[in-house]
């Protein structure tokens, strides 16, 4: 539903945005679009697809439609305090690291924090990628490192034990 919903919204509104040569397209994705996790392959795949759709749209707007005033923002948060994660263990279960240390480096986000970042991008009228919290900015690099490094990061963060 993630990518299909985004695609359907674009199909409905993009022609008018391109015609007006201004607007702002927000794409909601997730860190897991870059760093997939266990037991969520469908969700991770759909978020990766939204990232790809966003990147293709950005190039299409720039190169094909020649619409430099149409902005795009990709939003890739980590765990947000929503119903989806209400049963999540916040990466702390059976961790060899202190709970406070894990929560410091990998906090769950209040929804209003994500909304404020989206509003800031719209207010400043610039295209950007929003990665929250701070560790999320490293997510795109996850595909550039070996599986061993990813496995260590996942072990430290208890990434595959959250759902």
Would you name the residues annotated as active-site residues?
43
Adjacent-strand bridge partners of 130: 75
How many beta carbons lie within 10 A of that of residue 35, not counting itself? Answer: 22
DSSP string, the chain: -HHHHHHHHHHHHHHHHHHHT-EEEEEE--GGGTS--TT-HHHHHHHHHHHHHHHHHHHIIIIIS--TTEEEEEEEES-BSSGGGTT--TT-TT-SS-HHHHHHHSPPBPHHHHHHHHHHHHHTT--EEEEESGGGGGGGGGGGS-HHHHHHHHHHHTGGG--
């Amino acid at each position: 539903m993630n990518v299909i919903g985004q695609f359907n919204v674009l199909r409905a509104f993009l022609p008018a945005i391109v015609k007006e040569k201004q607007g702002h397209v927000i794409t909601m994705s997730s860190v897991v679009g870059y760093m997939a996790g266990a037991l969520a392959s469908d969700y991770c795949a759909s978020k990766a697809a939204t990232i790809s759709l966003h990147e293709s749209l950005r190039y299409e707007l720039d190169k094909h439609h020649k619409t430099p005033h149409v902005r795009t923002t990709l939003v890739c948060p980590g765990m947000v305090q929503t119903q989806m994660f209400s049963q999540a263990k916040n990466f702390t279960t059976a961790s060899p690291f202190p709970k406070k240390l894990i929560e410091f480096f990998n906090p769950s986000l209040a929804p209003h924090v994500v909304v404020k970042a989206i509003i800031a991008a719209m207010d400043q009228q610039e295209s950007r990628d929003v990665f929250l919290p701070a560790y999320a900015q490293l997510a795109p690099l996850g595909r550039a490192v070996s599986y061993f490094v990813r496995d260590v990061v996942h072990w430290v963060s208890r990434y595959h034990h959250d759902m």
